[in-house]
Amino acid sequence: MKLKGRAWVTGDDIDTDQIYHGQYLPVTDPHEMAKHAMEYVPGMENFPREARSGDVVVAGKNFGTGSSREHAVLCLQYLGISCVVAKSFSRIFFRNAVNLGFPVIECPEISDTMKTGDIVEVHVDSGKIIDLTTGESFQGIPASGLEKEIAGSGGLIEYLKKNA
């Protein structure tokens, strides 16, 4: 699977309250949830209005630390973000993404040179990420084994239905 979109570059330790703040937890309508994606990340207040379908979030280390809330994945998914590339993920965000079939790629060397607005191409299966604006490319760690099977089935529920 090859994805292409504009990059939204952000720093280290972006926690789940920054991605989807606790005050919106009672919200269940997907359109409403999408309106608050990444709202509390410093400098990304316009993200929910300006992000376009297919855009890619490129983050530093420990992305998604904090709460077990799946909303942090859902709000990005509902907004049409195609995947998140991060130097590293917090385990709960990574797990929720796998369970929802949302592509996440760990790439320890990324994001120091990439800038918001660069056009990036993400090869989900090989883990290769190319910054088409600068011509640089990075090798990420693609999903493998059980995680790949679950994400590839369209998420955990579909996987279990097939493998009951």
Partner 1 sequence: MTIIEKILSTGSGKAVKPNDRVWAGIDLAVIRDFGGPNVVIEYEKTFGERPVWDPSRVALTFDYQAPAKVSDVANNQRICREFAKKQGIQKLFDVNAGIGQHVLLEHGLIRPGSIVVGTDSHMNLLGAAGCFATGVGTTDMVATWYAGRLWFKVPETIKVNFKGKYSFPTTAKDLTLYFISRIGPDKPNYKSLEFYGDVINGFQLHDAITLASMITEINGKIGFVPTNHQISEFLKSRMGEASEPVLADADATYSESIEIDIHDLPPQVACPHAPGNVRPVSQVKGTHIDFAFVGSCTNGRYEDLSEAAAVLKAGGRVHPSVQLTIVPATIEVARKCLKAGHYETFLEAGAIVTNPGCSLCTTGHHGVLGKGDVLISTSNRNFLGKLGKGSQVYLASPATVAASAVKGEIADPGEFLR
Q: Minimum distance from CB of 59 to partner 1 (Å)?
A: 14
3-state SS string for 38-91: CCCCCCCCCHHHHCCCCCEEEECCCECECCCCCHHHHHHHHHCCCEEEECCECH
Token pair recorded at residue 74:
């859902």
Token pair recorded at residue 82:
């195609």
Rounded CA-CA distance 79/4 in Å is 15
Q: Which is nearer to partner 1, 68 or 113 (CB)?
A: 68
Burial of 31 (0-12, 13-18, 19+ CB in 10 A): exposed
Rounded CA-CA distance 92/95 in Å is 5
Q: Which of residues 69-128 bind partner 1 (CB under 8 A)?
A: 69-70, 73, 88, 90-92, 95-96, 99-100
DSSP letter, residue 15: B
Q: Which is nearer to partner 1, 1 or 25 (CB)?
A: 25
Q: Minimum distance from CB of 40 to partner 1 (Å)?
A: 5
Should residue 145 be labelled a site residue for partner 1 when binding is judged by CB under 8 A?
yes
Site string for partner 1, 47-76 (x = CB under 8 A): --------------xx--xxxxxx--x---
Site string for partner 1, 7-26 (x = CB under 8 A): ------x-x-xx--xxx-xx
Binding residues for partner 1, per CB under 8 A? 13, 15, 17-18, 21-23, 25-28, 40, 42, 61-62, 65-70, 73, 88, 90-92, 95-96, 99-100, 145-147, 150, 155-157, 160, 164
